[in-house]
Chains A and B, each alone.
Chain A
Amino acid sequence: GDSVTQMEGPVTLSEEAFLTINCTYTATGYPSLFWYVQYPGEGLQLLLKATKADDKGSNKGFEATYRKETTSFHLEKGSVQVSDSAVYFCALAFNFGNEKLTFGTGTRLTIIP
């Protein structure tokens, strides 16, 4: 079946460091890919998405590129802030996200000042 594998955490970085959280997927066909974020005490929020190969999703300084050849959707940010501390989930879904989301296990990110 479809699955998403995320870089295991937790990840701790200093403020202004470069961030990469790895995500790879297994799916039959070509799903849409998503990064969701869960800030402490809050619900899941969509961070960014990409719907086809080579698309780049971006938001709040975060970026991820849909790589069909490596079945990957790695999340990156050039300079992290303390406010980026959260749990990040990679996910896939078909039909542009209108069908069920399949999530990875999540990566907890802590940024220290």
Chain B
Amino acid sequence: DTGVSQDPRHKITKRGQNVTFRCDPISEHNRLYWYRQTLGQGPEFLTYFQNEAQLEKSRLLSDRFSAERPKGSFSTLEIQRTEQGDSAMYLCASSQQSGQPQHFGDGTRLSIL
């Protein structure tokens, strides 16, 4: 069990640029979740997948955000035309459908200049 892996750990970009983050879940975990955490707050749900199907999207996920999990393994989260308010820690978690709890990665910290 190598844990949930996220890449990159840190991303600094200029406002208006596009960014893409990657999450590799624990192998055999068929559910994958994305959350966003801002300073001093708890994580907020963005979206989740069961295998390759995206089952739920939060209202927080504006049209500039898109997430994919094309082969039911790793997932990507893309933010287009980044804004200052997108600065946050983006967390990925995975779980088995059998009722085991979600395991979190260390996150990708996004800073918008």
Q: A100, B106: Cβ atoms under 8 Å?
A: no
With A102-B45, A105-B42, A106-B42 as known contacts, state yes or no: A97 contacts B95, CB within 8 Å: yes
Q: How many residues of A contact B (CB 8 A)?
A: 24
**Stretch of B20-28, B63-71, B74-82, B96-104 contacting A (4+ beta carbons < 8 Å):** B96-104
Q: In the complex, are the beta carbons of A46 and B42 less than 8 A apart?
A: no
Tell whether, in the assembled complex, residue B43 and residue A98 are in contact, meaning their CB atoms are under 8 Å apart.
Answer: no
How many A-B pairs have beta carbons closer than 8 Å: the answer is: 57
A96 in contact with B99 (CB, 8 Å): yes
Q: Quick check: B107 and A43 within 8 Å, CB to CB? A: yes
Proximity bits, A35-57, B CB within 8 Å = 1, else 0: 01000001111100100000000
Give the docked Cα–Cα distance between A100 and B35 (Å).
9
Which of B31, B40, B43, B95 has the most chain A CB atoms closer than 10 A to its own CB?
Answer: B43
| A42→B106 contact, CB < 8 A | yes
**Are B102 and A97 touching (Cβ within 8 A)?**
yes
What residues on B are CB-neighbors of A95 within 8 Å?
99
The one of B40, B43, B100 in contact with A103, judged by C-beta atoms closer than 8 angstroms, is B43
Q: Mark B27-64, 1 if CB is under 8 A from A, else 0.
A: 00001010100001111110010000000101000000
Q: Is B91 an interface residue (CB 8 A)?
A: yes
Q: A43-B107, A89-B42, A106-B42 are in contact. Are A100 and B101 (CB under 8 A)?
A: no
Contacts of A101 in B (CB 8 A): 33, 35, 43, 45, 93, 102
